[in-house]
Structure 1
Amino acid sequence: MNIIIIAIGNELLNGEILDTNSRFLEQELAHYGQKVHRVVLIRDDMDAIETEIKRCIGEADYLFIMGGLGPTEDDLTRYAVAKALDQELIQDLNELKEIQKKFEAYGHKMTSNNERQSFFPSAAKNLGNPIGTASGFYLLERDCNVFVLPGVPSELKLIFQDSIVPILNEQWTQSIVINKLIVKVIGVGESTLDTMIKEEIAPKHSIRWEIIAKAEGVFLKFYPIDELSKDNWKEPLQQDLERHLGHQIYGYDSDDMNEIIAKLLLKDKLKLGTIESCTGGYVSKYITDRSGSSRYYVGGMITYTNDLKNRLAHVSSKLLEQYGAVSVETAEAMARGAKKALASDITLAITGIAGPTGGTPEKPVGTVCFALLDHKNRLTLKKRIFVGDRSDVRVRSLF
């Protein structure tokens, strides 16, 4: 099965935004056991888009085209698709009414250029758009299934789930389950894990593996060498890995760290509170990204300045002067002060130097100190030095 993705937009090639849509499609298609053959990024250029569409239709069984369905002059995708397939653009009057209704609901006046979003190639099936005005569409051209989608990630995801998944389910009558085990590890580097697997794990198991480093840890993907093996290879491997890695394994397969945190807190009926400095609210945002987090998360403080650390968390000026804002001593004082102020059972404190300025030889950029005070007043202190830019340091502090 040959699957190709075309992502269209100058902003993708200028480095203004990341192409997260291709990643989403790759992950969704993997549920069917399908792999994307290639991803092509193209500027907003009519000839280039048309040429690439013609080339890909000649190669692909499934072609996903994303972006360029907006109302402006540089939104060329619907015109390029029609030209590449030698089809006329036909206005869908029902679609025009839907667009008008959405503008009325938004309390905005529809401008004339939005009308172009109601035109589709003559053989296209309208896939709709539950939340936006750029509806996707579907065509079958020379045995190639062509899906054309808007570039806004939230809109693309909804159209994929609501309109494309039913088509794929009908064509791919049975999902192909990839026989694999994903092990999620934190606190151990890629090279250490790779060496451990080669020397301690692989000799006892008929497996191949991949190692992927992510912000939330290192993901180990294991596959049986015999693709037709049943799942009975997983349990012995899992037990062996747990003997070597213990609590540094935080999950398997679809396990999500945020979900795991929630389950642990809810199980013991504990409330979490946070106090942050260098992360500026990253931890609070991450926790509250999960719906229902108010059941176990009381809230947090962002004490970015020493003055606020003193006034809100009662970190003494003497301690700050003696040890500095970035120290395990200050992190501990922040945790104790925040626990009292927030009335939380467990409190996490983070203070550090995200950079690019502020570092010293003793405390270089990337130095981050953590304090965790639990419901039994047991204290855990950590100090780490992360490598990377400001964003890297803040994200790595989160995990």
Structure 2
Amino acid sequence: MAHIPAHSDPARQGAPTTSSRYELLTLGDELLLGLTANAHLTWIGAQLGRRGVQLQRNVTVTDEADAIAAQFRESWARADVVITTGGLGPTCDDRTREVLAAVLGQKLVFDPRTEEAIRARFAKFQRVPTANNLKQAYRFERGEVLPNANGTAPGLWVEQEGKLLIMLPGPPNELQPMFTEQVIPRLAARGKLSDQEAYIQIRSIGIGESALETMFECTFSRSPGLGIAFCAHQGQVDCRISSPDGRYGMEKLRAIASECAALLGDNLLCFGHDSIAQVVADQLKQQGRTLAVAEASTGGMLANAFADLCGACKFFQGGIVSTSNEAKMLMLECPECLLKQHGAVSPECAVAMASGVAEKLGADYGLAITGFSGPCTGGGENPLGSIYIGLHSPHGDWAKQLTYPGPRAAVKQRAINDAIDWLRREVLKETHRIAAPQVN
């Protein structure tokens, strides 16, 4: 059974832990043109959500000065904390600093320390900053600079009229460390955050959103006023439970979540936000087991799902990408006769890949994916979207066929999720075997 995180404050209620209203303005034509995904919303929203804050609004705004000014005036009138991303760079379309200073009636003043930091960063790469780069050295006269250790555009922190304006650079590798290392501690020091989430999230897999709601309906009906929200994504469904009016404490929410978990059984993935790969990693490390993967149609994405995790070397032996039959024979020792008889897209090949990579890399479990994910078409019994997953475990070898509609990227991601979930369920069986009482 997955563990429900215990909160450090036993008296804490399941309602939002701060009354401050937060709004996020994501700035940039590239977002509105669809050239760049608005990843700042999901990332900042998650960081705040884990600290008892829910963003009330996000607006994406063009780089045009009048549009920025109009939207900021509206947000500033409503919110207690306004966060902006983008528009702090050195070029002519970076206008955020100047526009917001004018709206707030503040002058921009040159900051010698920021100039020094900009010149030092350029010198590190044996370059000299152009004049427009020094535009980034201006700050609000009644504001503070948030130093940027990963770029030249510093963030800006402004407190005015009992409100906060936090301006962040656009590049994620600059924004994210600045937010976690500087913004979060400052917000916490001003009582704008909590160290707790304002809800419990139940993450499920293998069951649809409507079926999940039906499953939980009786449990939820016994707690009037319970806050309930469902979110489906990539074969998983999250259910968040909270107490908007504060009538239920976290102890009660944990009891409700435990009842939901019992209903889900093995379809419970976790409590919280862990990815399916992280859940499997924790299982394998707990059992002292290891994993290796082989893949053809997913091109390394399966291996990356595990290699991206902290401490991957403790359980993940590695992965082999073998798109050609020659590579399968050379690196995975798939028999040539098997490939000729059954083909590379077959249950027999999937099993051979899984057992081959486990033996080759010395792993307890082997997981393999082969198939037609597109854009080339399949043939015969294997139409486009046909995927075979192979699984090797200490207790046997198996394969299963799955067929997915949709574009190549969606087929690949669904295949990876289903493959890892199959592994998760097999490792769970091993957990149950270990926990079962021995009959003498």
Q: Secondary structure in 2 aligned to 1:44?
A: coil
Paired AA for residue 76 in structure 2 = I
Deviation at 1:243, TM superposition (A): 3.5
Q: In structure 1, what is the Cα distance between the partners aligned to 2:162 and 2:404?
A: 50
Deviation at 1:135, TM superposition (A): 0.4
The structure 2 residue matched to 1:64, chosen from 46, 63, 83, is 83
Residue 85, structure 1, aligned to residue 104, structure 2:
yes
* Alignment-derived partner of residue 366 in structure 2: 347
Q: In structure 1, what is the Cα distance between the partners aligned to 2:69 and 2:380?
A: 56
Paired AA for residue 267 in structure 1 = Q
CA contact (8 A) 1:71 1:116 kept: yes
* Alignment-derived partner of residue 30 in structure 1: 49
Deviation string for 1:176-210 (max 9, x for gaps)?
85553211111212122122222x53345554422
Q: In structure 1, what is the Cα distance between the partners aligned to 2:24 and 2:370?
A: 42
Q: Secondary structure in 2 aligned to 1:245?
A: helix
Deviation at 1:223, TM superposition (A): 2.8
Q: In structure 2, what is the Cα distance between the partners aligned to 1:178 and 1:280?
A: 37
* Alignment-derived partner of residue 145 in structure 1: 164
Residue 201, structure 1, aligned to residue 205, structure 2:
no
**What aligned pairs does 1:1-399 form with structure 2 within 5 A after superposition?**
1-172=20-191, 175=194, 177=196, 180-198=199-217, 200-204=218-222, 206=224, 207-215=226-234, 217-224=236-243, 227-360=246-379, 362-374=381-393, 376-399=394-417
Change (3 A) 1:142 1:230: closer
Deviation at 1:322, TM superposition (A): 3.4
Q: In structure 2, what is the Cα distance between the partners aligned to 1:291 and 1:225?
A: 35
Paired AA for residue 164 in structure 2 = N
- Greater RCO, CA 8 A, separation 6+: 2
Which runs of no fewer than 5 residues in structure 2 stay unpaired? 1-19, 418-440
Change (3 A) 1:272 1:174: closer
Q: Count residues in correspondence.
A: 397
Of 45-54 and 233-242, more deviation after overlay is shown by 233-242
Paired AA for residue 398 in structure 1 = I
Deviation at 1:147, TM superposition (A): 0.8
Change (3 A) 1:204 1:81: closer
CA contact (8 A) 1:57 1:142 kept: no
Deviation at 1:32, TM superposition (A): 4.0
CA contact (8 A) 2:201 2:241 kept: yes
Deviation at 1:369, TM superposition (A): 1.4
Change (3 A) 1:222 1:54: closer
CA contact (8 A) 2:52 2:193 kept: no
Which runs of no fewer than 5 residues in structure 1 stay unpaired? none
CA contact (8 A) 1:353 1:359 kept: yes
Deviation at 1:76, TM superposition (A): 1.6
Deviation at 1:73, TM superposition (A): 2.0
Q: In structure 2, what is the Cα distance between the partners aligned to 1:225 and 1:12?
A: 33
Q: In structure 1, what is the Cα distance between the partners aligned to 2:245 and 2:115?
A: 54
Q: In structure 2, what is the Cα distance between the partners aligned to 1:224 and 1:6?
A: 28
CA contact (8 A) 1:81 1:121 kept: no
CA contact (8 A) 1:266 1:295 kept: yes
Paired AA for residue 387 in structure 1 = P
CA contact (8 A) 2:405 2:411 kept: yes
What is the percent sequence identity of the aligned residues?
28
Paired AA for residue 264 in structure 2 = L
Deviation at 1:264, TM superposition (A): 2.1
Deviation at 1:255, TM superposition (A): 4.1
Q: In structure 2, what is the Cα distance between the partners aligned to 1:147 and 1:94?
A: 19
CA contact (8 A) 1:179 1:227 kept: no
Q: In structure 2, what is the Cα distance between the partners aligned to 1:47 and 1:40?
A: 15
CA contact (8 A) 2:203 2:268 kept: yes
Deviation at 1:81, TM superposition (A): 1.8
Deviation string for 1:77-113 (max 9, x for gaps)?
1122222223332211111111111122234333332
* Alignment-derived partner of residue 427 in structure 2: none
Change (3 A) 1:377 1:34: closer
Q: In structure 1, what is the Cα distance between the partners aligned to 2:260 and 2:342?
A: 40
CA contact (8 A) 1:91 1:119 kept: yes
Deviation at 1:47, TM superposition (A): 2.0
Change (3 A) 1:285 1:100: same
Deviation string for 1:287-341 (max 9, x for gaps)?
1112321121111100112221222222234333433322222100111222222
Deviation at 1:283, TM superposition (A): 1.6
Deviation at 1:378, TM superposition (A): 1.6
Q: In structure 1, what is the Cα distance between the partners aligned to 2:95 and 2:142?
A: 18
Q: In structure 1, what is the Cα distance between the partners aligned to 2:139 and 2:245?
A: 47
- Name the Cα RMSD after superposition: 2.3
Deviation at 1:46, TM superposition (A): 1.8
TM-score relative to the length of structure 2:
0.83
Q: In structure 2, what is the Cα distance between the partners aligned to 1:176 and 1:343?
A: 42
